[in-house]
DNA sequence: GTACGTGCAAAGGTTTTGCATTACA
DNA sequence: TGTAATGCAAAACCTTTGCACGTAC
């Protein structure tokens, strides 16, 4: 509850429900996942509210927008530096909490000032491997 | 020209135009970029043909689909292992040809067999830095 | 000649937007 | 009470699909 106040957001019941759903969530949900989950408690919840809230959180830096899944955005409430491993078939994403030293030679970065990085590892999970193609 | 035959594709004029546009292209174009460029020479070109061709090339492994830009796919004809640096404002992408040793501890990868990786570096380019927010 | 590619238009999926209503602070 | 969020629907994007026609091999 103190956590919620710390956000500094105007706390509407919808936002609280979204924040609760995201807190500690390592499933990297899509907007639809969030909408579905929160709609159970708020049948009047709209996609607009979900997207508004996610965008607000992203701007505050308390939510990451992942571009790892083609066709839809995925969201990650864990803002600690970490990386991701995605199953190319089922799109399941797991966190990789491991530090890597990634230096980019100056002559490669051109005129772009580098502020961060993110590694996506990809592969096929057990379940997808054993099921037929 | 020999390159084109090597693709093994049925070589229609539209496909040749797309392949020519992609050959050596380091601009990481979107489907729309490709459509616009090729439409100049083929006014009847359709998006369906662009997407069909891109998907065919992707399946043959001669074209990479980048998911680095939220909201649209970007394509990269360079299939040599490399990484990308993207300007968060203008979405310009530059290649990073540098090798990194990225080992993932077994206990982190769970049941997913890792087959590859890709690093996205991000930052802000000179042009975007000097222009007002 | 035949299998496959093309072009058009319509449909599908995700995200954004306009605006009247509602509610937090 | 005033500012900001909500909900609904429509629109905006990007991508995919169905099908009749055309064409490379």
Distance of B110 CA from D15 C1′ (whole Å): 33
Say which of A113, A120, A121 has its CB closest to residue B124.
A113
DSSP assignments along A49-109, one per residue:
HHHHHHHHHHHHTSSEEE--STTS-EEE---SS-EEEEETTT--EEEE---------HHHH
Chain B residues lying within 8 Å of A120, measured CB to CB = 117-120
Residues B46 and B95 in one domain: no
Q: Looking at the structure, do residues A45 and A14 belong to the same domain, yes or no?
A: yes
- Whether the Cβ atoms of residue B75 and residue B92 lie closer than 8 Å to each other: no
Q: Give the pLDDT confidence score for residue B5 in this predicted structure.
A: 78
Measured between alpha carbons, how far is A102 from B53 in angstroms, rounded to an integer? 35
Question: How many separate domains does chain B show?
Answer: 2
- With distances taken from each CA to the C1' atom of nucleotide D8, the closest residue turns out to be A46
- What secondary structure letter does DSSP report for B30? B
- Is the domain of A31 the same as that of A46? yes
Residues B61 and B120 in one domain: no
Closest CA to B15 of B61, B51, B40: B51
Q: Per-residue pLDDT averaged across A69-94, rounded?
A: 95
Let me know whether B60 and B19 are in one domain. Answer: yes
Q: Tell me if B34 sits within 8 A of B48, measured CB to CB.
A: no
Amino acid whose CA is nearest the C1' of C18 = A48
Say yes or no: B70 and B40 in one domain: yes
- How many Å apart are B24 CA and D20 C1'? 36
Nearest by CB to residue B108, choosing from A73, A88, A96, is A96
Are B50 and B12 contained in the same domain?
yes
- Residues in chain B closer than 8 A to A111 (CB atoms): 125-127
CB distance B70–A69 less than 8 Å? no
pLDDT at B7: 80
Closest residue on chain B to A83 (Cα): B119
Can you tell me the distance from the alpha carbon of A23 to that of A20, in angstroms, rounded to the nearest whole number?
5
Q: What is the pTM of this model?
A: 0.92
Residues A68 and A117 in one domain: no
Q: Do B116 and A121 touch (CB under 8 A)?
A: yes
DSSP assignment of B87-114 equals: ETTT--EEEE---------HHHHTTEEE
Do β-strands A74-76 and A64-66 pair in parallel, antiparallel, or remain unpaired? antiparallel
More confident residue, A6 or A40: A40
| pLDDT confidence bin for B8, thresholds 50/70/90 | confident
CATH code of residue B98: 3.30.1490.190
Residue ranges making up the domain that contains A23: 2-76
Phi and psi angles of residue A8, each rounded to the nearest 5 degrees, phi first: 75, 5
Same domain, B102 and B67: no
pLDDT tens-digit series, residues B46-102: 999 999 999 999 999 999 999 999 999 999 999 999 999 999 888 899 999 999 999
Give chain A positions within 8 Å (CB) of B122: 114-118
Distance CA(B92)–CA(A127), nearest Å, equals 37
Chains A & B: contacts with CB separation below 8 Å? 124
Q: What is the DSSP letter of B81?
A: S
- Distance (Å) from the C-alpha of residue B79 to the closest C-alpha of chain A? 16
CB A104 within 8 A of CB B97: no
pLDDT of residue A132: 59
* Residue B104's pLDDT band (cuts 50, 70, 90): very high
């Amino acid at each position: 509850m103190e956590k919620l106040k710390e956000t500094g957001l105007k706390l509407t019941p919808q936002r609280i429900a979204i924040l609760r759903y995201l807190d500690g969530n390592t499933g990297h949900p899509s907007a639809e996942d969030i909408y579905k989950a929160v709609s159970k408690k708020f049948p009047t919840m709209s996609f607009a509210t979900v997207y508004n809230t996610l965008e607000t959180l992203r701007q505050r830096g308390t939510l990451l927008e992942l571009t790892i899944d083609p066709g839809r955005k995925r969201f990650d409430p864990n803002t600690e530096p970490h990386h991701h491993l995605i199953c190319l078939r089922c799109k399941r994403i797991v966190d990789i909490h491991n530090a890597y030293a990634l230096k980019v030679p100056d002559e490669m970065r051109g005129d772009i000032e580098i502020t961060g990085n993110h590694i996506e590892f990809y592969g096929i999970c057990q379940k997808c491997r054993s099921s037929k193609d």
